[in-house]
């Protein structure tokens, strides 16, 4: 087993990073590092002088002391700004100064103090910062430090042009450019750019979470994860975009956001050349080439390409929903879902199409929208060849081939192919209608229904047929209308082979085979095969006639009756017999007429066997 060193547990900040921390964050860091030092002493760790020399970044006058008693020995833990040192019992009690200058004989307790002193013999004078009075030996160290005050970044990456205040930060960045990962873990064979990344990864195997939130007691594997979590409680967002003023809790999120302004995509796939704005997006994309899914759920063995995906998946098993909306109290399993939900309250639409200026609440919807301009459909079904603009649409389509319905209602057991359909279905049990019209206060279970409803008020019809110019309020209605031009009937009955242009028409037709009448009147018990028939029937009880003729004022219980009535004013007879040319106001009148040509008599008396062409004649008989 390797010997434990201070490097294994030490979390080091650069001057640039330290300057970004607020007082509460610095205080937390100090407490954690002092606790680490105490724990190392408790297990008998031997402190070496290089610890002081290597990690004390600031001058002694900024330090503070804490004494630890381990039972046999007592140590002073000295904090210098963002570094730590340990003073041994011999040094503390005896005043021992083992480091002596061979030029003047002056002795020092610590090696780094001797090094600093030696430079005074070389004629190198200590330099003082004129803003915070810190002393530095060497002009380069002073210049690096000044960058924390001015924000100046002198060290620039020659590949991507990214600038840093310190050379050490640039070196770490270069490893990400070169792909160098010097810290390897021999259990998972995973490698990391920085040592603290390796240490954090090890805890995913040991399940160790040493950093605990003192407000909600949630534990984390890394101190940076705890820092980010604390901001959920405080609401602090210290990182602000200098272009739009939007603030973020994490610097990485700010960097990602800035790319929405610049359009920068610095992460490129070396296999297909596709570029991404975020490194995590690139990693997910690479897995589409390799097929690698290293993260497996220990309950159902489902594998995932990203660790965040498996964490989100596990919550399906546990039912955990840690992210709660502070306005309506609704809880979510993922923080991204919460952020999306919050936009239903704020109305924020941060994603804008750079071609037509239309804005969207979600990035995924923007991506789908962009494909309407480009026509690009990169995701193709390997069974039927149908192509889609986004991966999620392809996944949903594949279930039409496999019949898979992975989302099941825990109340009635009904299963669905899509999680969104399940959520909508659940509202039929709860009666929840979260989407309300701000004009008439009518509420809806689905946001799409609300959007369609709003167009009743605005009269907007944004979907236009490119063949006849007719416009529609809904895209689905346009798709259905297009079939009147193409003659397409994609829905086929598996019993009689009859085809239909609409899925709803097929469902209604199937009930003629099964005799199913699922819609029952709760007043008289009469059942119907179609919901619309039930709605019309209910009006015979209520007397409601919502459809009124704008010419004579006569009112009707259903829209089709109104349409037929209007033809008495216009004289329109749209239903024409293709044998004799006679025209009719109603389609059912045409059907009866056609039977006179065919001599068809489908209505038969079950007592004497006599047949009739019309139901009314049978009733009279």
pLDDT tens-digit readout, 501-514: 888 788 888 888 88
User: Bridge-partner residues for 304, per DSSP?
Assistant: 295
Helix ranges (H only) for 431-547 are 447-458, 475-486, 503-514, 531-542
Among 93-97, 198-202, 600-604, 614-618, the least confident range: 93-97
Give residue-wise pLDDT tens across range 148-159. 666 666 677 776
Q: Can you give the pLDDT at residue 440?
A: 87
Q: What are the residue boundaries of the structural domains of the chain, listed by start? A: 1-124, 130-180, 489-570, 575-620
Q: Can you give the pLDDT at residue 552?
A: 92
Q: Give the DSSP letter string of 258-325.
A: HHHHH----EE-TTT--EESSHHHHHHHHHHHH----EE-TTT--EESSHHHHHHHHHHHH----EE-
Domain 489-570 adopts which CATH fold? Double Stranded RNA Binding Domain (3.30.160)
Which pTM value belongs to this model?
0.32
Give residue-wise pLDDT tens across range 33-44. 767 766 666 555
> pLDDT higher for 173 or 552?
552
Q: Among candidates 151, 123, 155, which has minimal Cα distance to 137?
A: 123
Same-fold call for 489-570 versus 575-620 = yes
Q: Can you give the pLDDT at residue 531?
A: 83
Instruction: Provide the percentage of residues in the chain whose pLDDT is more than 70.
Output: 75
- Statement: residue 68 has pLDDT above 50: no
| Burial of 369: CB neighbours in 10 Å, binned 0-12, 13-18, 19+ | middle
Q: Can you give the pLDDT at residue 173?
A: 73
Stated as kind and residue range, the H or E segment containing 441 is none
Across 580-608, average pLDDT: 83
Contact 69, 41 (CB under 8 A): no
Task: Say whether 443 sits in a helix, a strand or coil.
Answer: strand
Among 166-180, 292-306, 351-365, the least confident range: 166-180
- Statement: residue 333 has pLDDT above 60: yes
**CA–CA distance, 268 with 597 (Å, rounded to integer):** 71
Give 524's pLDDT tier (boundaries 50, 70, 90).
Answer: very high
Across 541-565, average pLDDT: 88
Give residue-wise pLDDT tens across range 17-34. 777 777 777 767 766 776
Give residue-wise pLDDT tens across range 446-457. 888 888 888 888
> pLDDT higher for 40 or 94?
40
Across 61-71, average pLDDT: 39
CA distance to 114, 182, 229, 322, per residue, from 199 (Å):
33, 13, 19, 26
CA distance to 8, 43, 475, per residue, from 37 (Å):
12, 10, 65
For residue 241 the two structure tokens come to 């975009």
Task: Say whether 473 sits in a helix, a strand or coil.
Answer: coil
Contacts of 267 (CB under 8 A, 6+ apart): 275, 276, 277, 278, 279, 281, 282
Give residue-wise pLDDT tens across range 260-291. 888 888 888 888 888 888 877 887 787 778 77
Domain 130-180 adopts which CATH fold? Double Stranded RNA Binding Domain (3.30.160)
Q: What is the CA radius of gyration of the chain?
A: 37
Across 214-240, average pLDDT: 82
Give residue-wise pLDDT tens across range 104-151. 777 776 666 677 677 666 666 566 777 766 666 556 666 666 666 666
Q: Can you give the pLDDT at residue 12?
A: 66
> pLDDT higher for 608 or 85?
608
Across 188-198, average pLDDT: 71
Give CA 311 to chain center in angstroms.
13
Q: Can you give the pLDDT at residue 286?
A: 79
Give 79's pLDDT tier (boundaries 50, 70, 90).
Answer: very low
Q: What are the contacts of 261-266 at 24+ separation with CB within 8 A? A: 266/160
Q: Can you give the pLDDT at residue 178?
A: 66
Q: Is CATH 3.30.160.60 the right assignment for the domain spanning 575-620?
A: yes
Give residue-wise pLDDT tens across range 361-393. 887 788 778 877 887 888 888 888 888 877 778
User: Bridge-partner residues for 74, per DSSP?
Assistant: 69
> pLDDT higher for 65 or 212?
212
- Statement: residue 315 has pLDDT above 70: yes
């Amino acid at each position: 087993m390797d010997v434990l060193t201070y490097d294994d547990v030490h979390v080091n900040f650069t001057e640039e990073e330290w300057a970004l921390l607020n007082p509460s964050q610095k205080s937390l860091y100090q407490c954690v590092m002092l606790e680490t030092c105490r724990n190392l002493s408790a297990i008998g760790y031997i402190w070496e002088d290089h610890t002081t020399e290597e990690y004390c970044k600031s001058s002694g006058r900024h330090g503070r002391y804490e004494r630890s008693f381990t039972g046999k020995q007592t140590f002073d833990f000295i904090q210098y700004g963002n570094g730590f040192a340990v003073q041994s019992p011999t040094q503390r009690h005896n005043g021992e100064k083992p480091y002596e200058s061979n030029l003047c004989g002056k002795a020092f307790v610590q090696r780094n103090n001797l090094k600093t002193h030696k430079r005074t013999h070389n004629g190198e004078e200590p330099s003082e910062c004129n803003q915070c009075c810190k002393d530095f030996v060497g002009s380069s160290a002073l210049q690096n430090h000044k960058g924390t005050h001015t924000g100046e970044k002198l060290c620039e990456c020659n590949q991507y042009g990214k600038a840093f205040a310190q050379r050490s930060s640039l070196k770490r960045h270069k490893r990400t450019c070169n792909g160098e990962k010097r810290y390897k873990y021999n259990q998972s064979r995973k490698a990391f750019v920085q040592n603290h990344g390796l240490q954090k990864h090890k805890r995913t195997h040991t399940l160790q979470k040493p950093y605990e939130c003192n407000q909600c007691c949630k534990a984390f594997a890394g101190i940076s994860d705890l820092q980010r979590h604390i901001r959920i409680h405080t609401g602090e967002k210290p990182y602000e975009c200098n272009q739009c003023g939007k603030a973020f809790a994490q610097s990485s999120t700010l960097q990602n956001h800035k790319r929405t302004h610049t359009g920068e995509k610095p992460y490129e796939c070396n296999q297909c050349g596709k570029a991404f704005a975020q490194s995590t997006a690139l990693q997910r994309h690479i897995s589409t080439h390799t097929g690698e899914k290293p993260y497996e759920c220990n309950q159902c063995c489902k594998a995932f390409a990203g660790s965040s995906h498996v964490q989100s998946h596990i919550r399906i098993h546990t039912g955990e929903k840690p992210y709660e909306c502070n306005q309506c109290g609704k809880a979510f399993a993922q923080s991204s879902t919460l952020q999306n939900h919050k936009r239903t309250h704020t109305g924020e639409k941060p994603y804008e199409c750079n071609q037509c200026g239309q804005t969207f609440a979600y990035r995924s919807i923007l991506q789908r929208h962009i494909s309407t301009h480009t026509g690009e459909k990169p995701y193709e079904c390997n069974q039927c060849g149908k192509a889609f603009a986004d991966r999620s649409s392809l996944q949903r389509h594949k279930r039409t081939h496999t019949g898979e319905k992975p989302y099941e209602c825990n109340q009635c057991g009904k299963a669905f192919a899509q999680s969104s359909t399940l959520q909508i279905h659940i509202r039929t049990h709860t009666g929840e209608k979260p989407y309300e019209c701000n004009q008439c206060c009518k509420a809806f279970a689905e946001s799409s229904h609300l959007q369609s409803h709003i167009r009743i008020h605005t009269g907007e019809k944004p979907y236009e047929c490119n063949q006849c110019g007719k416009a529609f309020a809904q895209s689905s209605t346009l798709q259905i209308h297009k079939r009147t031009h193409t003659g397409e009937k994609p829905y086929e009955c598996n019993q009689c082979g009859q085809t239909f242009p609409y899925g709803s028409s097929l469902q209604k037709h199937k009930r003629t085979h099964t005799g199913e009448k699922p819609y029952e009147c709760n007043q008289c018990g009469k059942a119907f095969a179609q919901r619309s028939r039930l709605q019309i029937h209910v009006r015979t009880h209520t007397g409601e006639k919502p459809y009124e003729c704008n010419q004579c004022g006569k009112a009707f219980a259903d829209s089709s009756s109104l349409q037929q009535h209007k033809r008495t004013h216009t004289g329109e007879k749209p239903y024409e017999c293709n044998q004799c040319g006679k025209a009719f106001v109603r389609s059912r009148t045409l059907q009866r007429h056609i039977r006179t040509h065919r001599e068809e008599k489908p209505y038969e008396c079950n007592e004497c066997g006599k047949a009739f062409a019309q139901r009314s004649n049978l009733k009279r008989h």
